[in-house]
Amino acid sequence: MTSKPAAPSNRQSSSAIPLVKPQCKIHPSATVADKAQLIGPHVIEIDEGAVIHPHAKIKAEYGNIAIGKGTIVSEKAIVGLSEESGEDTTLVVGEGVSIESGAIVEARKIGDHATLGINCRVGEGAVLGKWCKIAPLCEVGPNEVLDDYTVVFGEGRKGRRVDVVVRDRKEVREARLKGTEMERQLLRGIIVDMSLIS
């Protein structure tokens, strides 16, 4: 886990902020890779069993970030607000959320067991319900509220659908939970945890 100043991000930052080591509350059973970037100055909280891939960026520059149990943040994903938002906010990522690589997450809250696809964008202030799925390259606008079990796969209202299969059938949800648990076990074997050092 590197908390030293890295190359400036290629997104609009108003000033070259010297990257500060954040205050971290990382659970001992969480796995945080060496090359993951956690940037402060606000608080980053990582709950048990979470896995942070190398080159993932968790930026608590403008607000706190809380990452729930068993959440996987993949490489090149950026979790955190990119601009000054006003009030002191906390970006809450629920339990078991799978943030795929390249995703840009600025939401206020991500519900439990949601899946954010590759290179998707979730705007500032958005609230996602539980078991949501954002398909790759899709966008959720700022301050948009998604109900539980919503699937976003296209533009506008036509691109959202309530996934009744996941909602109504428990065995499908159990199968998904099993899948993400297996993924986490695999990742724990591959990623070397460096959260206790440095």
Partner 1 sequence: MTTAFPSSLYACPCSDLSSAPTPSSKRASIQPNTLELSGDQAFNPHSPRANYALYPLSDLLYCEECDEIRCPRCWTEEILYWYCPNCLFDVPSSTVKGDGNRCSRSCYNCPSCTTPLQITQVSHRDEGLLKPTDAAGGDETYVLQCQYCDWSSLEIDVRFSKPTKITEQLAKQRKARVSGKEDTAPSDKKVTAPDDVFASLVSFYKDQLDESGDSRNPYSNSPYNSPANLARIMSLYGGLSYNALKKTREKPQPMREALGAPEGLFSFGTDRSDTEIISRMQTSGWDATPTAEQQLSAPVNHDIRFADELWPSATQLRTRRAKRCKNCRHIIARQEPKVGNMRYKIRLLAMNYIPRLSIRPLHPTMPLTNPAFNLKPEMPQHELLQPHKAQQYVLTIRNALFETVKISLATPATTPGKVASRVTILCPSFTVGPAGDVWDEALSASAEPNSDGGRKAAMASLTGSSESSDRQPEAGKIWERTRNSTSVIVEVVPGALQQPPSIVRKTDKELADEELEEDDDVLEVPVYVRTEWEMEVKPGESVQAKKDANAMPGEKVGKELGYWVVLAVGRIAG
Number of residues that bind partner 1 (CB under 8 A): 18
Q: How far is the CB of 190 from partner 1 (least distance, A)?
A: 24
What's the rounded Cα separation, in Å, for the pair 56 and 58? 7
What's the rounded Cα separation, in Å, for the pair 13 and 6? 14
> Side-chain half-sphere of 75: how many Cα atoms within 13 Å?
7
Nearer to partner 1, 15 or 157 (CB): 157
Query: What angle is formed at CA 70 by the lines to CA 171 and CA 155, rounded to 5 degrees?
Result: 70
Nearer to partner 1, 21 or 173 (CB): 173
Nearer to partner 1, 123 or 136 (CB): 136
**Strands across the sheet containing 89-93:** 23-26, 43-46, 63-67, 89-93, 109-110, 127-128, 145-146
Nearer to partner 1, 25 or 178 (CB): 178
Residue 93 token pair = 């990522």
Yes or no: say if 51 and 30 are a contact pair by the CB < 8 Å rule: yes
Nearer to partner 1, 61 or 100 (CB): 100
Q: How far is the CB of 166 from partner 1 (least distance, A)?
A: 7
Closest CA to 142 of 156, 169, 123, 114: 123
**Cross-strand partners of 99:** 73, 116
Q: How far is the CB of 5 from partner 1 (least distance, A)?
A: 23
Yes or no: say if 132 and 115 are a contact pair by the CB < 8 Å rule: yes
Q: How far is the CB of 72 from partner 1 (least distance, A)?
A: 18
Per-position x/- string for 156-185, each x denoting binding to partner 1 as judged by CB under 8 A, each - no binding: -xx--x-xxxx--xxxx--x----------
Q: How far is the CB of 100 from partner 1 (least distance, A)?
A: 13
State yes or no: residue 188 binds partner 1 (CB under 8 A): no
Nearer to partner 1, 92 or 172 (CB): 172
**Candidates 36-44, 106-114, 151-159, 179-187; binding stretch for partner 1 (CB under 8 A):** 151-159
Site residues, partner 1 (CB under 8 A): 133, 135-136, 151, 153-154, 157-158, 161, 163-166, 169-172, 175
